[in-house]
């Protein structure tokens, strides 16, 4: 749920009318019928100058679905140009501001370091922010943030920073750049990485990004991930990810649970791109094209979708469970989509529309204020929906601005009045606040997903090993919800404390989601990510035969029994078999079997190309640990390795000190994997056979602990 004005094929920009020479617009380049760019069709519906309303006046122009009310939480000058909100554990609201975005029709000064992160406080408990403190004031178009340990991760154009307040005054005293991030934003601000959304599987996901991030023991870890969406990211209580594109209300997938939903395809998209505003929508980028504007002045379909939020275990109640709220700033609306049936029994959604006396139908939330620009949303710790109103006339970036839009925006003065912004809260009429949890373990049992995820995040990222026993008790506690048991399982996995008995009990659980989580995490209990251990197959087989369970679970159980976990690879590595491999039938057979096994049991950490990942796993390509002493390599595979090591004589920095044992795999599996890694990626060494593994096990039958480098 993080964003920055999304805007793509959308919005408004301006030029001085006919007196002035119209500057060449980059957005004109794709238009073949250049004569359309001079169209004045907008004058039929919206010829007037757009007024500026006070925050209270703008609030009065918002219409929301029955049963809800909208409250003004913060506004300028306390916040300016807001694009996302988040909360710390003390309930303070953190707002990211895009201060230099389209300050004039030419987009002047976009790269100036004037963007901010503000900390807002409600001092009297009335729900309205009273105090604002600038945490940082010199960022380049700040795009998202996340809280980790005692610090804050902040994304700006070009980089991800670790920022610390060292004296408790809510101002950043120390910042360290951790990695390049959103580097393309300097040229194309709409199509660059954004978001640091923490999800059920302990990873932070980002839009427009081929990677996911995790904070572990003071280090930032990154892994390849499916690129999703354009602006904003959200998730629900089942770990589904939600995202969108400018012309699509939303899309969702369940890759976290090996894509076992939907029954067909890898993702589910919104059932429609129709939109129902309550005012004409003329100031959209390509409305000069015939048919784009309806007879009543509104557009028929969305072209400016930005951030979104998912209501899952929040204050709106069970009737709104799984609802997706998606932002359409170009039409001054917020669309709502409800699942037709509870997850996972349906992959269909209903577009919620409401009667309107003037326009016949309208969205869940709509405004007659043309400067109301809901660019992002979040579900807060109180379980309510918060809307981020960028509040300005022009939100189309200069890169996509057309002469048509610039001319209209200038004449209607949409380019005036920048540096504003409002935060609204959508509250159910019967809202009853739920108290925050008393501690982190209690947080895993909170009725609101926000607190469960935040508690899980703090425990895992803080490496709270001291809480592992309490959390383990939650996995079997009869008095807690099934979702609490699921959070406990994922939290133990994040701490490296998930055990075989936890998984077995979970697989046998009567609740389908707990059982599915047990199957999904079976490998984690053995210290591996992508390999389904053989000892869990009998339990999985029993699950596959159980009746009256969702097909998502029974089919998953059946598939892991037959072939283990499906591939979780996110990019394809084309392996090139070396000449000596192809010429030796024995090595070739082991090599090909090992390649398949490696992809599901080792590839997540060591990667398909064998080069490993920073802060996670060392390289296997051109490594003396792989190509030299075969007995040492077998020992590491069977019993694991702990402590500092050197690769090719050079100390490995920033890598976790334990390589988990893989002795639960059979001799044939280990032999083929080790033969593969010894002869892939330019490596060359003798094959390892099942007999070699068996002999090692016999000679070291009394050993339990992982090896250290000094022992070898």
Residue (of 303, 286, 293, 281) closest to 28 by Cα position: 286
Contact 313, 356 (CB under 8 A): no
Q: Is residue 306 in some structural domain?
A: yes
pLDDT attached to residue 421: 97
Q: Is residue 419 in some structural domain?
A: no
Q: Among 497, 530, 549, where does a domain finish?
A: 497
pLDDT attached to residue 2: 35
What φ, ψ does residue 173 adopt, rounded to 5°?
Answer: -105, -20
Q: Is residue 113 in some structural domain?
A: yes
Q: Domain holding 682: CATH number? A: 1.10.760.10
pLDDT attached to residue 691: 95
Task: Verify that 613 and 553 share a domain, yes or no.
Answer: no
pLDDT attached to residue 415: 92
Q: Among 506, 536, 570, where does a domain finish?
A: 570
What φ, ψ does residue 533 adopt, rounded to 5°?
Answer: -65, 145
Residue (of 365, 372, 413) closest to 392 by Cα position: 372
Q: What are the helix (H) ranges across 521-645? A: 537-545, 551-563, 579-583, 585-601, 603-606, 624-627, 630-639
Task: Verify that 304 and 332 share a domain, yes or no.
Answer: yes
pLDDT digit string (tens) for 348-362? 999 999 999 999 999
- Domain membership of residue 262 as a residue range: 26-85+97-134+226-389+398-411+424-428
Q: Is residue 14 in some structural domain?
A: no
Q: What is the largest CA-CA distance in the chain?
A: 91
pLDDT attached to residue 412: 93
Q: Domain holding 483: CATH number? A: 1.25.10
pLDDT attached to residue 707: 92
pLDDT attached to residue 20: 35
Task: Verify that 545 and 687 share a domain, yes or no.
Answer: no
Task: Verify that 522 and 459 share a domain, yes or no.
Answer: no
pLDDT attached to residue 542: 97
Task: Verify that 459 and 564 share a domain, yes or no.
Answer: no
Number of structural domains in the chain: 4
pLDDT attached to residue 102: 82
Tokens of 608: 């398909």
pLDDT attached to residue 569: 79
Contact 201, 529 (CB under 8 A): no
Q: Is residue 217 in some structural domain?
A: no
Given a cut of 70, is residue 1 above it in pLDDT? no
Task: Verify that 527 and 556 share a domain, yes or no.
Answer: yes
Query: DSSP state, 566?
Result: P
pLDDT digit string (tens) for 592-620? 999 988 887 788 788 889 998 877 789 99
What φ, ψ does residue 674 adopt, rounded to 5°?
Answer: -65, -35
Distances (CA, A) of 72 to 140, 192, 315, 420: 28, 31, 18, 14
pLDDT digit string (tens) for 58-75? 999 999 999 999 999 999
Task: Verify that 247 and 373 share a domain, yes or no.
Answer: yes
pLDDT attached to residue 608: 87
Residue (of 64, 38, 40, 61) closest to 51 by Cα position: 61
Calpha distance 326→107 (Å, rounded): 27
Q: Among 525, 541, 570, where does a domain finish?
A: 570
pLDDT digit string (tens) for 505-563? 999 999 999 999 999 999 999 988 888 999 999 999 999 999 899 999 999 999 999 99
Task: Verify that 489 and 502 share a domain, yes or no.
Answer: no
Contact 165, 135 (CB under 8 A): yes
Dihedral, 181, 186, 190, 192 alpha carbons, nearest 10: -20
Given a cut of 70, is residue 23 above it in pLDDT? no
**Helix (H) / strand (E) containing 512:** helix 512-520
Q: Is residue 589 in some structural domain?
A: yes
Given a cut of 60, is residue 39 above it in pLDDT? yes
Contact 251, 326 (CB under 8 A): no
pLDDT attached to residue 291: 84
pLDDT digit string (tens) for 7-20? 333 333 332 333 33
Tokens of 625: 């640990």
Task: Verify that 520 and 452 share a domain, yes or no.
Answer: no
Given a cut of 80, is residue 571 above it in pLDDT? no
Mean pLDDT of the chain: 91
Q: Is residue 202 in some structural domain?
A: no
Contact 652, 641 (CB under 8 A): no
Q: Is residue 245 in some structural domain?
A: yes
- How many Cα atoms within 13 Å fall on the side-chain side of residue 559? 17
pLDDT digit string (tens) for 102-155? 888 888 888 899 999 999 999 999 999 999 999 999 999 999 999 999 999 999
Task: Verify that 461 and 406 share a domain, yes or no.
Answer: no
> How would you class 104 by CB atoms within 10 Å of its CB: exposed for 0-12, middle for 13-18, buried for 19 or more?
middle
Task: Verify that 273 and 126 share a domain, yes or no.
Answer: yes
Task: Verify that 266 and 372 share a domain, yes or no.
Answer: yes
């Amino acid at each position: 749920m993080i964003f920055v004005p999304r805007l793509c094929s959308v919005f408004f920009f301006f030029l001085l009318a006919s007196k002035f020479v119209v500057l060449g617009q980059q957005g004109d380049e794709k238009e073949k019928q250049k004569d359309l760019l001079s169209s004045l069709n907008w004058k039929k519906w919206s010829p007037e100058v757009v007024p500026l309303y006070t925050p209270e006046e703008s609030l009065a122009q918002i219409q929301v679905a029955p049963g809800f009310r909208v409250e003004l939480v913060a506004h300028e000058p306390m916040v300016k140009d807001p694009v996302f909100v988040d909360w710390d554990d003390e309930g303070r609201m953190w707002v990211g501001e895009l201060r230099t975005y389209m300050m004039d029709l030419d987009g002047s000064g976009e790269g100036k370091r004037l963007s901010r992160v503000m900390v807002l406080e409600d001092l009297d408990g009335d729900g309205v922010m009273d105090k604002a403190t600038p945490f940082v004031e010199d960022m380049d178009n700040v795009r998202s943030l996340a809280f980790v340990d005692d610090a804050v991760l902040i994304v700006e154009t070009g980089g991800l920073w670790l920022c610390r307040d060292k004296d408790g005054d809510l101002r950043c005293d120390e910042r360290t750049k951790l990695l390049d991030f959103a580097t393309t934003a300097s040229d194309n601000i709409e199509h660059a990485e954004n978001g640091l959304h923490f999800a059920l599987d302990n990873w932070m996901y980002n839009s427009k990004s081929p990677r996911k991030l995790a904070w572990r023991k003071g280090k930032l870890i990154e892994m390849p991930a499916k690129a999703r969406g354009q602006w904003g990211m959200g998730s629900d209580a089942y770990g589904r990810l939600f995202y969108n594109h400018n012309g699509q209300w939303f899309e969702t997938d369940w890759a976290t649970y090996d894509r076992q939903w939907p029954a067909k395809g890898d993702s589910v998209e919104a059932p429609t791109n129709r939109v129902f505003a309550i005012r004409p929508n003329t100031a959209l980028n390509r409305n000069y094209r015939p048919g784009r504007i309806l007879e009543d002045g509104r557009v028929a379909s969305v072209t400016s979708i930005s951030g979104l939020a998912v209501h899952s275990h929040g204050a709106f109640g069970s009737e709104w469970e799984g609802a997706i709220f998606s932002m359409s700033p170009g039409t001054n609306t917020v669309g709502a989509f409800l699942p037709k049936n509870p997850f996972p029994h349906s992959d269909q959604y209903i577009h919620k529309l409401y009667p309107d006396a003037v326009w016949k139908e309208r969205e869940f939330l709509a405004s007659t204020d043309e400067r109301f620009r809901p660019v992002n949303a979040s579900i807060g710790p109180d379980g309510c929906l918060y809307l981020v109103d960028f509040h300005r006339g022009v939100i189309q970036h200069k890169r996509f601005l057309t002469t048509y839009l610039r001319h209209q925006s200038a004449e209607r003065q949409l380019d005036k009045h920048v540096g504003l912004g409002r935060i609204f809260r959508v509250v159910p009429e019967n809202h009853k606040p739920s108290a925050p949890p008393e501690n982190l373990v209690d947080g895993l049992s909170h009725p609101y997903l926000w607190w469960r995820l935040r508690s899980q995040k703090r425990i895992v990222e803080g490496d709270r090993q001291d809480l592992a026993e309490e959390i383990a008790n939650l996995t079997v506690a009869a008095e807690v919800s099934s979702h609490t048991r699921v959070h406990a399982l994922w939290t133990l996995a994040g701490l490296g404390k998930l055990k075989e008995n936890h998984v077995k009990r979970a697989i046998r659980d009567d609740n389908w989601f707990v059982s599915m989580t047990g199957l999904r995490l079976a490998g984690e209990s053995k210290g591996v990510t992508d390999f389904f251990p053989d000892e869990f197959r009998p339990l999985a087989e029993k699950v596959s035969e159980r009746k009256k369970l969702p097909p998502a679970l029974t089919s998953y159980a059946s598939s892991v029994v037959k072939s283990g976990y499906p591939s979780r690879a996110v990019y394809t590595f084309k392996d090139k078999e070396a000449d000596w491999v192809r010429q030796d039938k024995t090595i070739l057979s082991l090599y090909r079997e090992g390649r398949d096994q490696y992809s599901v049991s080792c590839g997540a950490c060591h990667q398909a190309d064998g080069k490993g990942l920073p802060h996670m796993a060392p390289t296997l390509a051109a490594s003396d640990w792989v190509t030299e002493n075969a007995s040492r390599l077998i020992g590491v595979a069977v019993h694991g390795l702990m402590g500092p090591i050197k690769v090719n004589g050079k100390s490995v920095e920033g890598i976790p000190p334990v390589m988990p044992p893989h002795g639960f795999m059979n001799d044939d599996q280990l032999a083929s994997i080790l033969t593969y890694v010894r002869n892939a990626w330019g490596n060359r060494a003798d094959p390892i056979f099942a007999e070699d593994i068996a002999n090692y096990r016999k000679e070291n039958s009394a050993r339990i602990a992982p090896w250290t480098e000094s022992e070898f």
